[in-house]
Structure 1
């Protein structure tokens, strides 16, 4: 099974600042993922030609099973908190999970969000900046793999230090009753080994993913709990976004500790 997670920056290329739907589809097709998690996904937004980017990606990779969960409703000039429903009918922005493998069940999971503004010190700045976070969510699918059910969860955690750790711990608790093995993947906005330590899950891929041109940090992760073995993994520059996609080829049902090729 090939797993991949990709923060798509609503399909925009940093090279020319444009969203080209054909180029976006080609990038997804080249990843050749069986299960793909996407972050910063547009639906019916003018900046991405009014397209449903989840549907564009699904067609490109040949994934008949897919769900989009909006974290923000409306358009960028007038965002509001979304309902968190699977496949909302209105314009939105959020996360998506796509699968070429049949899906037994879908689950939309709300994560705790900070209210109001909080001070954050960004790299290169000495003084904190007051910021307001957007709502955060996760979408889970129990896929019907030949070896048995596998739960795959896609999410995009906050950039606010400390609070992303709270969200990750909550997410681990929310999926504890879903079938094992379970995979949590996405832009976690946590660097290096922190997600594995906080979640007590194993990394299936270790590679820097941000920034895209000369990546120095791994903000995107694929974590596992249960019998999954990594065969190979890589961070992939698709020509889109400010993140590289993270890809892991895994064996399902293999012994814990048999990981190779990381």
Structure 2
């Protein structure tokens, strides 16, 4: 199983003007199972397309799903989900324009589940790159947190993959990770599946392992994509996996995060 995690940054070209496309990026990464974060679903800023479906088509995936964290566009006009909103969108549904996390797989999915992780009541100043190319002088901007979720895909091969994008607020993200870990261990006991927690955990090197007491299957810097110095993106497993091959991080011309990939036998 070739397993990839990638924060898409809604497929923004980095640097601006790059001719990279989602299909070309997917061809370069060549995932069999792909967990995506910061995905747009029919939002104007990304040409009103279903990004997960577009990626699934490029992968020739047999299953895909999108879990909206919010309805609307982050940083602009948005709202939390209501009970009437679809919480997991697949090929059988459409849903409203939103932003969240997604999943596509060439391995059949037997079921999807969603875990609500809440929202930090406070935001915080974040250091962001300056300039149109992202390489200018960094600056601080105050950012409010958004609701966070995890999307679970139970695969036909006996794995359950939990995809998430945790809060950037220190402490709150550790609490979210521990909630996912408790859920994962209970699910594994019930299903007998092996479980991986995968995604943008917004925690620098080592902290996800300390916070979860799980093992990291890959150690590679992923941010920023034009000169990665920090690992924010992880693939965690409870138990040691005897045959794991780390695939070198691949620059795609899309996003400020690099994708990470492992092959598991």
User: TM > 0.5 between the two?
Assistant: yes
* Contact map agreement 2:215 2:240 (CA 8 A) in 1: no
Give the aligned partner of residue 104 of structure 2.
Answer: 98
**Distance in 2, Cα, partners of 1:32 & 1:121:** 32
Write the distance in 2 (CA, Å) between the matches of 1:133 and 1:11. Answer: 21
Rounded Cα–Cα distance in structure 2 between residues aligned with 1:54 and 1:34 = 14
Once the two structures are superposed, residues 207-252 of structure 1 have per-residue CA deviations (whole angstroms, 9 ceiling, x without a partner) of 000011111000000111236331233222111100100011112x
| Equivalent of 2:203 in 182, 190, 194 | 190
Q: In structure 1, what is the Cα distance between the partners aligned to 2:21 and 2:73?
A: 23
Tell me the TM-score normalised to structure 2 length: 0.85
Mapped to 1, the partners of 2:54 and 2:128 lie a distance apart of 34
Q: Secondary structure at the match of 2:39?
A: strand
Alpha-carbon distance in 2 for matches of 1:71, 1:31: 25
Q: Could you say which residue in structure 2 is the equivalent of 1:3?
A: 3
Please, what TM-score do these two structures have when normalized by structure 1? Answer: 0.86
Task: Give the unaligned 5+ runs of structure 1.
Answer: 252-262
Equivalences, count? 244
What 5-or-longer segments of structure 2 have no aligned partner? 130-139
Is this contact kept in 2: 1:204–1:233, CA < 8 A?
no
- Residue 177 of structure 2 corresponds to 168
Which fold has the larger relative contact order, with Cα–Cα distance below 8 Å and residues 6 or more apart in sequence?
2
Asked whether the 8 Å contact 2:197–2:237 carries over to 1, the reply is yes
CA distance in 2 between counterparts of 1:211 and 1:121 reads 14
Where 2:208 maps in the other structure, the secondary structure is helix
